[in-house]
Chain A
Amino acid sequence: MNTLITVKPLLAILAALCLPPILASSRSPNAREAWTFGAALTMFGVIASMLPAVWGGARLEYTLVQVLPTVSIAFRVDALGLLFALVSSSLWIVTSLYSVGYMRGLKEHAQTRFFSFFAFSLAATVGVAFSANLLTLYLFYEMLSFATYPLVTHHQDREARASGRKYLLYILGGSIGLVLPAMLIVYHLTGTLEFSAGGILAGKAGAAQLTALLVMFVFGFAKAAVMPFHSWLPAAMVAPTPVSALLHAVAVVKVGVFSVVRVVTGIFGTGLLTELNLGTLVATIASVTIVAASLIALSQDGLKRRLAFSTIGQLSYIVLGAALLSPSALTGAMLHIAMHAFGKITLFFCAGAIFVATGKKFISEMKGIGWRMPLTMSAFFIGALSVIGLPPCGGFISKWHLVIGALEADRIVFLWVILVSSILNAAYFLPIVYQAFFCSPEEALFERRVQEAPRWCVVPPLVTAAASVALFFYPQPFLQLARLATRHVLGGF
């Protein structure tokens, strides 16, 4: 494997990081949105331009500053990081479109602040994706925590304050209380924080200590929303929908699971975990979360809350996949980062579109809405299929790999977990779609007159829904990256 030194990862981050000052100095809304698109496209362009090199098996590195004598703030673009960055940056473009429609449609206040912190969050997300070591990852992880706070609490009312509190309590409590000491212990044991394929902890500590460390990391990265550190996510749904869509279905939560995957593969190493049988521990925690979250989702009436619990469950698929430690499971986990992202963001976009058009938030108020908003609800249907994991949607591919992975690892229990939860997924999503389209005219709460949300709220979910379908037929870009990453993680170059 050859290593290229290039400033591109930094450029990708700077593309978003430079945006807030520009926004702060521009007064007109049109200019503001134009700059946002510009930044999103630039970022995507820079990230996409790294694809060929990574496909070719190269690794791109850049050291920004030697911040501690043995640890630097450094970037390394490998297949896994690029996969995540690609998903986030491509969806940022779509979300920017959507945000314009949503924020204008609802005449929200403080839009400059909104777009600025949105850019900050994306910069941090890509930073996490490209981190070469745990310190850099932690840096961007914390940056993301603080950048999303003003977005979660955008409405500045009492409910937002309560949610913001909960959000910070979990996220900061986890990162300062658990991840920071765990990271320092790792540094103390090994003298380095560099992610490396075989892990760095092998032979440095006893089994009990390693177990404690692993637990600290898995729960400490509270953005991964592994139960019982999950309840910030439903609370964070008070945010404007674009935030929920991109951050709480893609960027923030995936940063959590991405960090867990990175730590599991790069710090502990799959070999060490297999040896100590620690994978099973994490997989069990993840399984509990998957099933419990799906069950809770069934009982939620708020659409966004149901989506949130669904997200909690889906995130743990990724953790589960990583914890199974078999090649297909790892590939599936990484693919699921992408596939779930496209599916779930579609669902959130739809939820937001419904809110903009009708002001409805609860599922029980949405009977017959399919007649009024057919495009939106069609997109919703496709998104739901993808999240459940049914063809012809991308979600099927990742779940397929996970199932195969469970078989490879010879863990039939977890195969059942995946299957049961898929059924539960179907049980909490499909009724929504069914009621939207197939309820009797008497029951319907809406007139049979097409009245969609503003254009910029409708196009994005259609785009992402189409993308979900397309990913079923052409999963190549992500699949190849995921396979590369798996090979790298398992040490076979």
Chain B
Amino acid sequence: MSAHFPALIVVSPLMAAMVVAILAWVRPGACLPLAVVTLAGSLWAAAGMLWRVVVSGPFAYHLGNWPPPIGIAYQIDHLNALVLTAMAAVALVNLLATWRHARRDFAERVNYFYALYLLFCAGTYGIIVTGDAFNLFVLLEITSISGYALVGMGKRDAALASLNYIFMGTIGASFYLLGVGYLYLVTGTLNMADLAMILPRLYGNKVVTAAFIIAMTGLFMKMALFPLHGWLPNAYSESSSPVRSLIAPLTTKTMVYVMVRVALYVFPVDFSFGHLAFAQPAVWLAVTSIVAASLMALSQTSLKRMLAYVLIAEVGYMVGGFWLGNRMGMTGAILHIVNDAAMTLCAFLAVGSLRQQLADDSFKALRGAFRRMPWTMAVLVVAGLSMIGVPPTCGFFSKWYLIGGALAAGQWAFVGALIFSSLINAVLFFRIFEIGFFEPFAASDHGHPPDLAYAEAPATVIAPMLVTAAGLVVLGLLTGRIVTRIIDAAIPAAIL
């Protein structure tokens, strides 16, 4: 059975989604357990593939038994096995942590929420494992459409936010599709490995250059790189908390992964980094993204919007790190895909819990949060420290590689932007912690602060959150192993 993991990891959530849609009419109580079991199975399969890749190297799966490029092939290698495992873990933990919130937010439609959730995951897993450029587009659309629906079912202005998300997302996906079409036009193939073999003959071709730029622009739009980030803050802040903590860790990170995949394994490395003068502008774009998003984050008055902007800055980290073009920066970018997924999940889970218990997540509502919800706030503190980049949390280590790579490449602006963003993050998070810790003030100085009702979330919500928070530290401590055993093998030898 384990030989079929590449197909099963995508097909099982897909089929489970159909079954959940049927069960919703027949036996509603069975939907949640089925979803959880399926996601746990996916995680198991992902971990199994990661193990296999580490032990015996990359392997392929030919769907329908047609050899590529005739048919569609899945290619499991170090890069996607790692990302896949991270995403599968995030999806499972998020469902475990937020099903209570989902029940409250979605009421009768909660079972359809599970079905869409599974579809979203199936699409995301598929994007990560696929080795076919067009198949990626189809899976991307599954993820996107289920994502639009999930976002659109949020509070207040969610529908409008979701529609804008559709517009930007569709332009992004269409650009990607157009880029793939350009490549097909000049190569006649859609298989990524085959493309990588053919493209070196076509360096001077303007079509290839245009394809690269169009596809990258599309991906930048999908990953919300400044200044194409417009859809993200509203989409994330208007959606309901279970959706937010699913989409925030998965969407942008998956798109960064796609960028890495396309720039390293579809286009030859010397094309992406040598032939085209794309790397330097991309780094500058990333620097602008980091600085601008950090500044915009400062002016937000609610936690989730602030985090949304922090997220945009993090996208800049990954894009910039990747386009530094050296091994260290790229290691940092790939590591940050995993780490950022984990810390975004951690932060948004905490925010979701706060919002559920305090019914509001403006900064004012956080007064006394440390006394009212100590565990949730502890989780938020860990997430915050990780985003600031404090060892031994994982955020420090990816930043380590990113800054190291920038130093090696002599990109001082990127070094400055990373340090700046760390400091801004410190300000952002400690501003929140201050409100939660100090306010409301005691009547007199040195008096005892007023007593507040204990309002912690139930243990079933807290436990997955604590696991995530612990995961941030464990990931950080495992950095050495992840880098030497997995990421080193994931980066082509041509990158020095």
- B is a partner of A: yes
Residues of A in contact with B (beta carbons under 8 Å apart): 65-69, 72-73, 109, 135, 138-139, 142-143, 146, 150, 153, 155-161, 164-165, 168, 172-173, 176-177, 180-181, 184-185, 187-188
Pick from B445, B446, B484: contact of A69, CB under 8 Å:
B484
Q: Are A157 and B446 in contact (CB under 8 A)?
A: yes
Chain B contacts for A176, CB-based, 8 A: 388-389, 419, 422-423, 426
State how many angstroms separate the Cβ of B386 from the closest Cβ of chain A.
12
Give Cα A150 to B371, complex, Å.
Answer: 13
Q: Cβ of B476: which chain A residues have Cβ within 8 Å of it?
A: 67
Is A181 a contact of B403 with CB atoms below 8 Å? yes
Complex contacts, A168 vs chain B, CB 8 Å: 426, 430
- A187 and B404 contact, CB distance less than 8 A: yes
Q: Which of B66-74, B182-190, B436-444 binds A?
A: B436-444
Question: Is B19 on the interface with A (CB-CB < 8 A)?
Answer: no
Please give, as numbers and ranges, the residues of chain A lying within 8 Å of B388 by CB-CB distance. Answer: 172, 176
**Interface contact B390-A142, CB-CB below 8 Å:** yes
The residue in chain A whose Cβ has the minimal distance to the Cβ of B412 is A181
Quick one: which of B397, B403, B445 contacts A157, CB cutoff 8 A? Answer: B445
Structural contact, B385 and A156, CB atoms closer than 8 A: no
Task: Contact check, A177 vs B438: say whether CB atoms are below 8 A apart.
Answer: no
Given contacts A67-B477, A159-B445, A176-B419, contact A153 B438 (CB under 8 A): yes
Residues of the A chain whose Cβ atoms lie less than 8 Å from the Cβ of B292 = none
Docked CA distance A164–B477 (Å): 29
Cβ A184 vs Cβ B403 within 8 A: yes
B480 touches A68 (CB 8 A): yes
Min distance, Cβ A427 to any Cβ of chain B, angstroms: 32
B407 contacts the other chain (Cβ, under 8 Å)? yes
B391 within 8 A of A: yes
Alpha-carbon distance A156/B452, docked complex (angstroms):
14
Pair B423/A65 contact, Cβ less than 8 Å: no
9 more contacts with CB within 8 A, not counting A156-B449, A176-B389, are A73-B477, A109-B449, A138-B391, A143-B390, A155-B446, A158-B441, A160-B438, A172-B423, A176-B422
Contact B391 A139 (CB under 8 A): yes
User: Are B403 and A142 in contact, with the CB atoms below 8 A?
Assistant: no
**B→A interface (CB under 8 Å):** 385, 388-392, 397, 400, 403-404, 407-408, 415, 419, 422-423, 426, 430, 434, 437-438, 441-442, 445-449, 476-477, 479-481, 483-484
Say whether, besides A138-B391, A168-B426, A156 and B483 are in contact (CB < 8 Å): no
Chain B residues, Cβ within 8 Å of A188: 404, 407-408
In the bound complex, do residue B390 and residue A165 qualify as a contact, i.e. CB atoms below 8 Å apart?
no
Best-buried of A68, A139, A184 by chain B (most CB within 10 Å)? A184
Chain B residues positioned under 8 Å from A143 (CB to CB): 390-391
Residues of B within 8 A of A109 (CB): 448-449
Which residue of the partner chain A has the closest CB to B430? A168
Are the C-beta atoms of B423 and A177 separated by less than 8 Å? yes
Q: Kindly state the separation between the CA atoms of A142 and B399 in the bound complex, as whole angstroms.
A: 15
Distance of B396 from chain A, by nearest CB (Å): 8
The answer on a CB contact under 8 Å between A184 and B477 is no
Known: A67-B479, A69-B484. A153 touches B400 (CB 8 A): no
* A-B pairs with lowest CB-CB distance, top 8: A139-B391, A66-B480, A188-B407, A109-B448, A161-B438, A157-B445, A142-B390, A184-B403
- Known contacts A161-B434, A184-B403; A69/B483 CB under 8 A: yes
Cα A153 to Cα B397 in complex, Å, equals 29
Q: Which residues in B have their C-beta under 8 angstroms from that of A68?
A: 397, 400, 479-480, 483
* Option from B389, B392, B446 in Cβ contact (under 8 Å) with A67: B392
Task: Choose from A67, A146, A153, A160 the contact partner of B480 (Cβ within 8 Å).
Answer: A67
Report yes or no: A153 in contact with B437, Cβ–Cβ below 8 A.
yes
Query: Are B483 and A181 in contact (CB-based, < 8 A)?
Result: no
Question: Which one, A153, A157, A173, A184, contacts B423 given CB within 8 A?
Answer: A173
Contacts of B408 in A (CB 8 A): 188
**Chain A residues with Cβ under 8 A from B392's Cβ?**
67, 73, 139
Smallest Cβ-Cβ distance to B390: which chain A residue: A142
Could you write out 24 A-B pairs with CB less than 8 Å apart?
Answer: A66-B480, A67-B397, A67-B479, A69-B480, A139-B392, A142-B391, A143-B390, A143-B391, A153-B438, A156-B437, A157-B442, A157-B445, A161-B438, A165-B434, A168-B430, A172-B426, A173-B423, A176-B426, A180-B389, A181-B415, A184-B404, A184-B407, A188-B404, A188-B408
Contact: A157 with B438, CB < 8 Å?
A: yes
Least CB distance from A63 to B in Å reads 11
Chain B nearest Cβ from A130, distance in angstroms:
16
Instruction: Please determine whether B477 and A65 come into contact, CB atoms closer than 8 angstroms.
Output: yes
- With a cutoff of 8 Å between Cβ atoms, the chain A residues found around residue B389 in the complex are 176, 180
A185 contacts which chain B residues (CB < 8 A)?
Answer: 407
What are the residues of chain A within 8 A of B438 when measuring CB–CB? 153, 156-158, 160-161
Q: How far is the CA of A68 from the CA of B400 in the complex (A)?
A: 10
- State the Cβ distance, A188 to closest chain B Cβ, in Å: 4
- In the assembled complex, the Cα of A135 lies from the Cα of B390 at a distance in Å of 11
A146 & B390 in contact (Cβ 8 Å cutoff) = yes
Q: How far is the CB of A387 from chain B (nearest CB, A)?
A: 28
Residue numbers in B under 8 Å from A142 (CB-CB)? 390-391
Least CB distance from A229 to B in Å reads: 15
B403 to A: closest C-beta gap in Å? 5
A139's nearest neighbour on chain B, judged by CB, is B391
Q: Which residues of A contact B423 (CB under 8 A)?
A: 172-173, 176-177
Q: With A and B bound together, what is the CA distance between A327 and B419 in angstroms? A: 38
The answer to whether residues A66 and B481 also contact, given A176-B423, A184-B403 and a CB cut-off of 8 A, is yes
Q: Is B385 touching A146 in the complex (CB atoms < 8 A)?
A: yes
B228 smallest CB distance to A (angstroms): 29
A161 to B431 Cα, complex, angstroms? 10
Contact A180/B403 with A158-B441, A158-B445, A161-B434 known, Cβ cut-off 8 Å: yes
| Nearest chain A residue, comparing its CB with the CB of B433 | A149
Chain B residues with Cβ under 8 A from A158's Cβ? Answer: 438, 441, 445
Please, how many angstroms separate the alpha-carbon atoms of A433 and B422 in the complex? 47
A67: B residues at CB distance < 8 A: 392, 397, 476-477, 479-480
Chain A residues with Cβ below 8 Å from B449 are 109, 156
Q: Which chain B residue has the least Cβ–Cβ distance from A107?
A: B448
A231 to chain B, nearest CB (A): 18
Residues of chain A with a CB closer than 8 A to B480's CB: 65-69, 72
Across-interface contacts of A138 in B (CB, < 8 A) = 391
Per the bound structure, the CA–CA distance linking A66 and B479 in Å amounts to 8
Q: Are A157 and B441 in contact (CB under 8 A)?
A: yes
Q: What residues on B are CB-neighbors of A160 within 8 Å?
A: 438
In the complex, residue of chain A having the shortest beta-carbon distance to the beta carbon of B392:
A139
Q: Are B391 and A181 in contact (CB under 8 A)?
A: no
Contact between B442 and A156 (Cβ–Cβ < 8 Å)?
A: yes
Which chain A residues border B391 with CB–CB below 8 Å? 135, 138-139, 142-143
B36 to chain A, nearest CB (A): 29
Q: What is the CA–CA distance of A176 and B385 in the complex, to the nearest angstrom? A: 12
CB distance from B115 to the nearest CB of A (A): 41
Q: Provide the bound-state CA to CA distance between A72 and B483, in Å.
A: 13
B287 nearest CB across to chain A (Å): 16
Contacts of B407 in A (CB 8 A): 184-185, 188
Residues of B within 8 A of A156 (CB): 437-438, 441-442, 449
Determine the residue in chain A with the shortest Cβ distance to B487.
Answer: A69
Give the residue name and chain of the A residue nearest to B449 (CB): A156
For A238, the closest partner residue in chain B by CB is B446
How far is the CB of A258 from the nearest CB of chain B, in Å? 18
A182 to chain B minimum Cβ distance, whole angstroms, is 11
**Complex contacts, B419 vs chain A, CB 8 Å:** 176-177, 180-181
CB distance from B147 to the nearest CB of A (A): 34
Establish whether residues A184 and B442, one from each chain, have CB atoms under 8 Å apart when the complex forms.
no
Please give, as numbers and ranges, the residues of chain B lying within 8 Å of A181 by CB-CB distance. 403, 415, 419
Within the assembled complex, what's the spacing in Å between the Cα atoms of A72 and B478?
11
Interface centre among A138, A150, A156, A188 (most CB of B within 10 A): A156
* Min CB–CB distance B305 → chain A (angstroms): 23
The smallest C-beta distance from A373 to any residue of chain B, in angstroms, reads: 22
Instruction: State A184–B402 Cα separation when bound (angstroms).
Output: 10
**A66→B391 CA distance, assembly (Å):** 14
Q: Which of B389, B437, B476 has the most CB of A within 10 A?
A: B437
A73: chain B residues at CB < 8 Å are 392, 477
